Amino acid sequence: MESVTFSEPTEQENMSLEEQAAMQDEQATEQQPETAEASPDRPEWLPEKFDNPEALADAYSNLEKQFHENKAEPSETEDNATSEPEVTNSAVTSASEEYFETGELSEETYKSLEANGIPKEMVDMYVNGYEAVANQQQQTLMQEAGGAENYEAMSEWAATALTDQEQEVYNNTVESGDVNAATMAIRGLYARFPPSD
């Protein structure tokens, strides 16, 4: 048989649980590293990775400098993004000029617009919408002369009754796209138009 020896309880074993907890708290406080204690010169707002406010200021200054350098050198994607709208605007302007000159768009123009991201269906929708608005405005303007028939008769009369300069001013006003100005011009001409028998 093995003999078992009982040792006397130590002072710590005779302590209550509360006393032992208090003792452990004291030991933990003593073992904390010195870095955890805030130095009297270190501000509370300073992040731990910076030794002092000057280090934070240097890091911020470097970051700001790097940001401005990157901003000053535009990337290729920014260059492409700037040039794309210019190409699209040029294609649309060219198509508009062609439409106003000929009243229609060629297949080449449709292809050019499609290459710039504007499909044929969208172009046709725009053209149809424009024509609908233009026809509505034309009907409204003709009503100022008493309808389409009267407007035609007035136009034929004006071709011989007005001077070349008056005809030019009238035509420029009616074709200017300003509906109010065109309305006034038609009203003025209609007032001079002799009533039909």
Domain range for residue 143?
135-197
- Amino acid 28: pLDDT: 52
- Amino acid 164: pLDDT: 93
- Amino acid 25: pLDDT: 59
Structure tokens at 186: 């038609």
Contact (CB, 8 A) for 88 and 116: yes
- Amino acid 161: pLDDT: 92
Is position 165 within any domain? yes
Instruction: Return the DSSP state at 36.
Output: G
Alpha-carbon distance of 144 to 162, in angstroms, equals: 19
Is position 175 within any domain? yes
Contact (CB, 8 A) for 182 and 141: yes
Are 112 and 148 contained in the same domain?
no
Digit-by-digit pLDDT tens for the chain (197 residues) are 555 554 555 555 555 556 655 666 565 555 544 444 555 667 676 677 777 777 767 776 666 676 666 555 555 545 554 455 566 678 788 888 888 888 888 999 888 888 888 888 888 888 888 788 888 888 888 898 889 899 999 999 999 999 999 999 999 998 887 889 999 999 999 999 987 65
Is position 110 within any domain? yes
| CB proximity list for 154: less than 8 A, separation 6 or greater | 145, 189, 190, 193
Length of the chain: 197
Structure tokens at 172: 């420029």
Domain count for the chain, please give it.
2
Is position 169 within any domain? yes
